[in-house]
Structure 1
């Protein structure tokens, strides 16, 4: 059994990327002492092996979202931090430029420009176009030029010279897509539950409506990106009930959707890869479509046959490539592929404290819900187990419009390493399974979505995998909600419940969204009937909970506010229930620091040992 610390450690290296000339690696590294929890931007020279640090920050204050090269001399760092606006807790983002020679870092938006705005934008990191042929400029989407939501596009000079207002915003305009000629071309508007996708004419600044649809409807058409030709736009829309990728010629008055990629069983991810070196679209939906890159991927998979291999970065001429190779039982290693020299060398392990030979494998499973709907999931069994009569963790995912897949998961590996079987299920409402499946989750929290979780638990018992007296339900965010509802609806089924950052009060969740532009969309997802929301909120049913409860929540959680757990814990204690409540000081929704992961996993380890160690206790 590995120590808890091995699983509680955030990857020591993350956001690794190659400089355009292929001589340097930038990366984010974390360093912790008893007094400090640091996040650092590190530079590594591939020629001489020397490294140095450029940025140092407290990881409790700053979450680095991404790191990219603007040119061979400057890095762009997207960061997020917890803040408050007009009394409402929010997340703010910023985009910093880092001079790799001096180590100096500053906001890419000059103070002089910010001082002219009506209000300081909450989000300042949305790059519309990185302008690969113009390494000293980027196009950035910026709100705040007026007192209403109206997102403009500015051309930022990375040397600190004049910032140019390229396109003024319009009311309810929230985002932009640039074409390959570097014009902000597609404007996305949002009001209440309605979205409009419009095309902007650069010459006249006129806008043409392309599509209008309701949020979460079958009519959704979302722009992905442009091909090389000026009027080739790739979009994500539904085809026979599954998300697919289409190509649209914007010159066509009918805007006919030409099907490019679909899957009869699953949604195709709305993603695109474009090679600036080759000046063409090379990948769609998470896989290559260009024959040259199909062969590259085939070469990778032949060299590393038991792994999922992804090219995550490359030099400008694509002669050097960074590869992340991982599997369900391998947390991932970074490799450098020199295509000219035709060799590949190992650089770094993503989780250095988790030996792959001690990790468990995932098995894809399927079971029927009580109404006959097929539910897919993943079963992880401890190494060297018989696969029968095991203490078990039922582990529904968060979101809930999300999904679990067959990739590496440090939570699951932690449980399996402790001797527990783990079931993850993609209950109705999960993404990836088409329109009807996702739609079935609307206003369904605590109802059929919850039944799918329960049916998975009963399926495990019927299969003989689980000891029915030693099952604990564990979850985070929506999964934490589902965990609590599980022990409320079927107290006889679970021996304990552990919930991280759970939603406990649906009324409160809807009410808290009133300050945000997605308020009506949240109502569409959860419902707007207060009585109905009360009947589906764990906080109103604490007296029905008959098993021990572990609650963990961060004080700076901006996704699900800490008051959800505070109120739940207080009511459980008042009712005399067995509850342990841990509050993570300055903790967020994602366990972004080593200290908070360790604190949470230590509590989980002790809690599960107490309640799942012996049958019948």
Structure 2
């Protein structure tokens, strides 16, 4: 158990509950609510914690003063019309944050963002815009792309933004208090983004020409730009730059090595610029990021989902701290999320088989570790099911990994109604940690299977590249094979399975009723793609149209053959469609038109449109309603 409790109960929403074993004992909101707390961020001096607190669906950005016990409410949102994307400390009294909203132009929905600040030294402080737009300046769509917090400069940040030429960002040094800015870099041809080193110098630019990605390095003496990496998107030559060490000549990046993405570093001062392998996992892509010391700005380790505590430290002091934490909180995943400038105070995230995750505050000087708050306080003990890692063999002998969440009161050898739950992306993956979808359905009596089908990220280049032009093909068959495997293993029976998912997962659910009509008794799609040819066509409105088209495929006849909207007449099982009206990722038209086609074909379909809803179910009432509707749908057709 976690000891030394530091109660920062900002709202009266914490209750102590006795363990329960009966399924359906929790209200829908226990799983469907947004996290109770998130985005913990420690001030540079370690005396304040800024974080997002959920109060019945209203999210408050709160600053808690650890010395005085004072709470300050910075801003609030419900995520319907505006979303707090991120925030960070410029200094001990100044917060900067990115806020996004959805706009419509010429019938096309898109997301825009703004950069705002909050000054704790002001008595009646308010959220204020950082940037002041003068006449003749382009009104940029994205205004919160900070590429350096300039840790040694307590007033300024480096901002990448297209104020000069639309869709071609420059770099400005911006005073967060006053909004004054100085241009550091002008836009270049095909410029997409910029990367700064730990000293705050702009060193690398990323350019996109159709489907060719080029990284160029700035010569520190001449100022000239020289090609560093170049590759075609979705090719084996892809490089992902992670960042610089505190030595500005050392660059870390990920690149393919023996078919999985590995961690490399390069000495940029060397004429040969040879790649030095730092870490390689032969079974999985290195999927994390660099970990920096707040004290020295040096790289002290890196994260990878396959590590027991997610981070591997090569800094001896932090490695010893991690070991000490493991002894204090055994049988848990313990992740140091943030530290102060001295490295003595830190925020710890911990999760285990009996709880969905909590935040703690550590003080090395006093040798204390105090509880702050839990993310899902009602889902603990026997009420937390957790995931189980499994593997099955697809029809072509490919091994597929996935996660099973057993239903409440699971008994080995007994079969249960099952839900196959493919993830979105599709070039993404499911992980072993808490998942409110799988936990919710398992709590209500369903066995949930989340296969990381072909096209998922994390399992190597060849595996993931099956998603390129592969919609409706092997990656779809993997879901059918997953269902067959569940039956073979005795987890469920042939007439007791449905399929559901969001985004690509919604597409896969609909396509399953087309390609494998006898396997699933129903399909539920949230924000799912139904028409790939429409994706191809609408890509012309966006700057990355060539990349989108390369990903889904360029043969439009083939796209029609793997688009569920063209096969409504072949769907013989009930369908549930849910979609947000302001979805800027997958247009609501995909579900509207799919519903119309099913209705015209006299099929059983229910369509729910969430007014002003987005793609990611960030608005809590819509998250609650979506899970309620899906549960009722599955209960009707499986229970």
- TM-score range (shorter-chain normalised) is over 0.9
1:355 aligns with 2:375: no
- The aligned residue for residue 120 of structure 1 is 139
Counterpart CA distance in 2 for 1:530 and 1:176 is 35
SS of 2:608's equivalent in the other structure is strand
574, 590, 596: which one aligns with 1:548? 574
Partner of 1:81: 101
Q: Does 1:308 align with 2:333?
A: yes
Q: Does structure 1 residue 338 correspond to structure 2 residue 363?
A: yes
1:64 aligns with 2:90: no
Counterpart of 2:532 (choices 480, 503, 506) is: 506
Displacement after TM superposition at 1:285 (Å):
3.7
State how far apart, in whole Å, the 1-side matches of 2:303 and 2:133 are.
Answer: 39
Contact kept in structure 2, 1:362 and 1:379, CA below 8 Å: yes
Q: Say if 2:223 is the partner of 1:205.
A: yes
- CA deviations over 1:348-395 (Å, ceiling 9, x no partner): 011123234301131111111100110001111113222431100001
- Say whether 1:139 aligns with 2:165: no
Structure 1 pair 245–413 and aligned structure 2 pair: CA distance change class (3 A)? same
Give 3-state SS (helix, strand or coil) of 1:509's partner.
helix
1:26 aligns with 2:44: no
Residue among 334, 342, 348 paired with 1:323: 348
State the partner residue of 1:608: 634
Instruction: Give the whole-Å Cα distance in 1 for the aligned partners of 2:211 and 2:432.
Output: 33
Give the deviation of 1:409 after TM superposition. Answer: 0.5
Partner of 1:427: 453
For 2:173, what is the secondary structure of its paired residue?
strand
The aligned residue for residue 491 of structure 2 is: 465
Match of 2:478 among 441, 452, 456: 452
Q: Which residue of 1 aligns with 2:322?
A: 297
Q: For 2:467, what is the secondary structure of its paired residue?
A: coil
Q: Deviations over 1:480-523 (max 9, x none)?
A: 10011111112211111111000000001121221212211111
Q: Distance in 2 between matches of 1:356 and 1:70?
A: 39
The whole-number CA distance in structure 1 between the counterparts of 2:544 and 2:297 is 36
Equivalents in 1 of 2:63, 2:46: separation in Å? 13
In 2, Cα distance between the equivalents of 1:326 and 1:417? 19
Match of 1:372 among 368, 391, 397: 397
Question: Comparing 354-363 with 371-380, which one deviates more in the overlay?
Answer: 354-363
Determine helix, strand or coil for the equivalent of 2:317: helix
CA distance in 2: counterparts of 1:319 and 1:414, whole angstroms: 38
- Alignment pair present for 1:190 and 2:208: yes
- When structure 1 is superposed on structure 2, of 228-237 and 473-482 the one drifting more is 228-237
- CA–CA separation in structure 2 for the residues paired with 1:554 and 1:329: 34
Deviates more, 1:75-84 or 1:342-351: 75-84
Equivalences for residues 514-525 of structure 1 within 5 A: 514-525=540-551
C-alpha displacement of 1:26 = 1.1
Q: CA deviation at 1:597?
A: 0.6
Cα distance in 2 for residues equivalent to 1:91 and 1:570: 27
Maintained 8 Å contact 1:328/1:408: no
Structure-1 separation of matches of 2:162 and 2:105: 15
Equivalent of 2:254, from 233, 236, 239? 236
2:265 corresponds to: 247
1:483 match: 509
Indicate whether 1:109 and 2:131 are aligned.
yes
- CA offsets, 1:118-157, max 9 Å, x none? x21111111111011111010110113024x322110001
1:3 aligned onto 2:27: yes
CA distance in structure 2 between the aligned counterparts of 1:338 and 1:348, rounded to whole angstroms: 16
In structure 2, how many angstroms separate the alpha carbons of the residues matched to 1:395 and 1:165? 48
* Separation of aligned partners in 1, 2:328 and 2:423: 33
Q: 1:495 aligns with which of 521, 535, 541?
A: 521
Partner of 1:47: 67
Question: For structure 2, which runs of at least 5 residues remain unmatched after alignment?
Answer: 1-23, 305-310
1:401 aligned partner: 427
**How many pairs does the alignment contain?**
605
Structure 1 contact 473–483 (Cα < 8 Å) conserved: yes
CA drift at 1:57: 3.3
Do 1:554 and 1:586's aligned partners in 2 also have CA atoms closer than 8 Å?
yes
Instruction: Give the superposition deviation at 1:13.
Output: 1.7
Unaligned runs of 5+ in 1: none
Q: Quote how far apart the aligned CAs of 1:416 are.
A: 0.4
Asked if the contact 2:131–2:179 (Cα under 8 Å) also holds between the matched residues in 1, the reply is: no
- TM-score, with structure 2 as normaliser: 0.92
Q: CA deviation at 1:439?
A: 1.3
Q: C-alpha separation between the residues in 2 aligned to 1:127 and 1:284?
A: 21
- Shift of residue 222, structure 1, vs aligned partner: 2.3
Which structure has more RCO (C-alpha within 8 Å, separation ≥ 6)?
2
The TM-score normalised by the length of structure 1 is 0.95
Q: Measure the CA separation in 2 of the matches of 1:141 and 1:361.
A: 40
User: Contact (CA 8 Å) 1:328, 1:407: kept in 2 or not?
Assistant: no
Q: Aligned pair in 2 of structure 1 residues 386, 357: CA closer, same or farther (>3 Å)? A: closer
- Please report the RMSD computed on the Cα atoms of aligned residues, expressed in angstroms: 1.5
> Per-residue deviation at 1:280?
1.7
Q: Please list the CA deviations of residues 201-237 of structure 1 after superposition, one character each: whole Å capped at 9, or x if unmatched.
A: 3443311011111001111122211112121111111
| Structure 2: distance between partners of 1:39 and 1:276 | 28
Return closer, same or farther for 1:356/1:559 CA change in 2, 3 Å cut-off: farther
1:545-584 mapped onto 2 (5 Å cutoff): 545-584=571-610
CA distance in 2, matches of 1:377, 1:95: 39
The CA deviation string for residues 508-567 of structure 1, in whole angstroms up to 9 with x for no partner, is 112122121221111111111111000000000111111111110001111111000000
The superposition leaves residues 241-269 of structure 1 with CA deviations (integer Å, 9 ceiling, x where unpaired) of 11011111112233210101111111112
Q: Does 1:411 align with 2:437?
A: yes
